[in-house]
Amino acid sequence: MTLTYYLVLAAILFTIGAVGVLVRRNAIVVFMCVELMLNSVNLTLVTFARATGTIDGQIMAFFVMVVAAAEVVVGLAIIMSIYRTRRSASIDDANLLKY
Amino acid sequence: MIEAPDLSLAALAPLLFVFGAACVGVLIEAFWPRDSRHPVQVAVALVGTLGGLVCTLLLAGRGEVTAAGALAVDGAALFLQATIAGLGALALLLFAERALDPARSAFVTSAAVPAGSPRDRELATSERVQTEVYPLATFAIGGMMLFVASNDLLIMFVALEVLSLPLYLISGLARRRRLLSQEAAVKYFLLGAFASAFFLYGLALVYGATGSVRLRDIREANLAEGTDLLLVLGLALLVVGLLFKASVAPFHTWTPDVYQGAPTPVTAFMAACTKVAAFGAILRLLYVAFGTAEWTWRPLIYGVAIVSMVVGAVLGLTQTDLKRMLAYSSIAHAGFLLTGVLGLGAGGEGSGLAATMFYLLAYGITTIGVFAVLTLVRDGDGEASHLSQWAGLAARSPLTAAVMGLFLLALAGIPLTAGFTGKFAVFRAAIEQGAWPLVLVALLASAVAAFFYLRVIVLMYFSPPAADGPTVGVPGLPTTIVLAVTATATLALGVLPGSVLDLAERAAKFVG
């Protein structure tokens, strides 16, 4: 069994997430892309845990999940507050601060 | 049988103090009656941070690795922890100021109420204050103190999030110009989460390359097996995540927007404390984990230092808003700090670490001071941060203009101020390591940057005051203390920096 496939898959997911953050315009979708990046990291960590025969990577994946959950709470609260004022979650509409 | 990890409670005392105060703050928020909550929250937050500061001072001279190798309590960590706790306490005093705003607080009463709604207008004039900011800021300070002591990439990541998440929230809590503030919070949050994903992927790759995330194990893997591609890639991603937090160009795009949109006390807090924490982590990562593989990161840091200084100095020239101008100044200063980072030689000799730590202290003090002055000058809609509104301020309030002038001179690096001593120290350290072309660029960038600081001074002293200019508020006790302390320290570190430089020199040690 080769572990390389899992690493390549994780790298592809990470890239999709990173590109998504850069090109998508809805704050919720951008945020989902960030979560995709975090989860690709989890896949990488678990694969490396298997490859190196240590359990650290699996434990780290749990840490990442907990932190990601905390991030969701904070992030959605911030996005909600701006949505309730503007009735739009587009990050292009949030353009008062520039130059 | 699981072995309990060795845990030196004494070495962890500063962290326990600050996090303990933050938890108590959350409980007070839930159970204490609203009418008398504000003074209690301020007291708890101040006791926590000042207690943390005292603990770090008592621990001075220690050098040990504790918590099963996850934390390094050494000279550098303690110096930076003390800096963060001290600057954090000053920023908390700015948070607590109630005399300046007619509604008695810089923070929104109820963040959940949509901006501009009838309820929001009703609350805007009420004197009710919200106090969540104090536990949130205390958690952020605790996270920063953990960040500079982390000897393990996973702990570093957790600390990064503990310091970032409260900051995202409190930068969206301004009482006035709420739309700007909320926009700043969204931008900071999305870009911050993006950057921490990069840090995390770097962590995963380093783990794959070395089988561990302990900084010491990474160094040993570097020595034993040489540095392979996976490790270099991981290092690059880790550094991107950290440079983002330190607002180094080209990862700086959030800085001007967030500095402008966030409430000014929060901007002061972010600008001073986050910078100290981020550079603490950068230094530790590069020198403890990758100190033996310098060739992998030295050219990268060299490049971003130049980009950061040039971008900060040149774009700072075109700004018309003082808070944005100071944001570009902070980007330029991040470049100067990286000059100091490069001044640390292989194996940790050279004076780069001490110089960078001194610079962080001097810069943090001056930055808190300059934003404290910014909170004083107000028009009908909160702070008057547009440059034109500051014209002729010296005629209106000579003392405010003089204090502002002092801080601006310190940021520009004029002799007899803290900024000059700091710059001199980092440039000397970089030249000792042969990075003189970088120092040349830094000197040119300093000269360009001096122009936009001096422009404000000229505007304050030699322009006729506008007819409908801003009013200069009379600060209450907290802001007065902050201004007195920062102005005195800015002068003291410029005129008699010897003892503090010595202290930094003696503290400049990494274990781990």
DSSP B254-283: HHHHHHHHS-HHHHHHIIIIIHHHHHHHHH
Of residues B295 and B183, more confidence is placed in B183
Question: For chain A, how many residues are written?
Answer: 99
Q: Taking a C-beta distance cutoff of 8 angstroms, is the pair B247, B279 a contact?
A: no
Per-residue pLDDT tens digits for B42-53: 999 999 999 999
Tens digits of per-residue pLDDT, B60-86?
Answer: 888 888 888 889 999 999 999 999 999
Listing DSSP states for A66-98 in one string gives: HHHHHHHHHHHHHHHHHHHHHS--BTTT--SS-
Distance of CA A28 to the CA centre of its chain: 11
Contact A60 B207 (CB under 8 A): yes
pLDDT at B350: 72
What is the percent of chain B where pLDDT is above 70? 99
**H-helix or E-strand containing B217?**
helix B215-225
Instruction: Please say if the pLDDT value at position B468 is more than 80.
Output: no
Cross-chain CB nearest to A78 (options B115, B161, B172): B172
Tokens representing B166 are 């409260």
> Considering only CA atoms, which of A76, B491, B200, B374 is closest in space to residue B208?
B200
First-to-final CA distance of chain A: 53
Number of separate helices (H) and strands (E) present in chain B? 21, 5
Identify the band that residue B257 occupies on the pLDDT scale cut at 50, 70 and 90. very high
In angstroms, the CA B64 to CA B509 distance is 11
Nearest CA among A70, A46, A79 for reference residue B160:
A70
Residue B158's pLDDT is 96
Q: What is the mean pLDDT of chain A?
A: 90
A79 closest CB neighbour out of B112, B186, B257:
B186
Give the pLDDT confidence score for residue A99 in this predicted structure. Answer: 60
Q: To the nearest whole angstrom, how far is the Cα of B215 from the nearest Cα of chain A?
A: 14
- Tell if the CB–CB gap between B161 and A57 is shorter than 8 Å: no
B471-472 and B377-379 beta bridge pairing? antiparallel
Q: Work out the pLDDT band at A33, boundaries 50, 70, 90.
A: very high
Q: What's the confidence (pLDDT) of residue A92? A: 75
* pLDDT for residue B348: 63
The pair of three-digit structure tokens given for residue B248, joined into one six-digit string: 């180094």
Q: Which tens digit of pLDDT belongs to each residue from A56-95?
A: 999 999 999 999 999 999 999 999 988 888 887 787 777 7
Return d(Cα B61, Cα B58) in angstroms, integer.
9
CA B466 to chain centre: 34
Q: Residue B190: list chain A partners with CB under 8 A.
A: 21, 27, 30-31, 34, 75, 91
| pLDDT, tens digit, 9 for 90 and up, residues B18-46 | 999 999 999 999 999 988 899 999 999 99
| Report for A75-89, B81-95, B163-177, B493-507: range of highest mean pLDDT | B81-95
Does residue B109 carry a pLDDT above 90? no
Digit-coded pLDDT (tens) for B124-153:
778 788 889 999 999 999 999 999 999 999
Task: For residue B108, give the amino acid letter.
Answer: V
Q: CA-to-CA distance for B446 and B448, rounded, in angstroms? A: 5
- Each residue of B365-417: pLDDT tens digit? 999 999 999 999 988 778 888 888 898 889 889 999 999 999 999 999 999 99
The percentage of residues in chain A with a pLDDT greater than 70, rounded to a whole number, is: 97
Question: Where does the pLDDT of residue B111 fall: very low under 50, low under 70, confident under 90, or very high at 90 and above?
Answer: confident
Q: Tell me, what's the ipTM?
A: 0.96
**Facing residue for A48 by CB, picked from B116, B180, B204:** B204
**C-alpha span between B266 and B92 (Å, rounded):** 9
d(CA B57, CA B13): 11
Residue of A7, A45, A59, A93 to mutate for B, most B C-beta atoms under 10 A: A45
Using a CB-CB cut-off of 8 Å, the residues of chain B touching A17 are 197
What is the pLDDT at residue A1?
A: 62
B271 pLDDT higher than 90: yes
B390-411 burial, b for 16+ CB within 10 Å, e for fewer? bbbbbebbeebbebbbbbbbbb
| Tally of CA atoms within 13 A in the half-sphere of B92 that contains its CB | 31
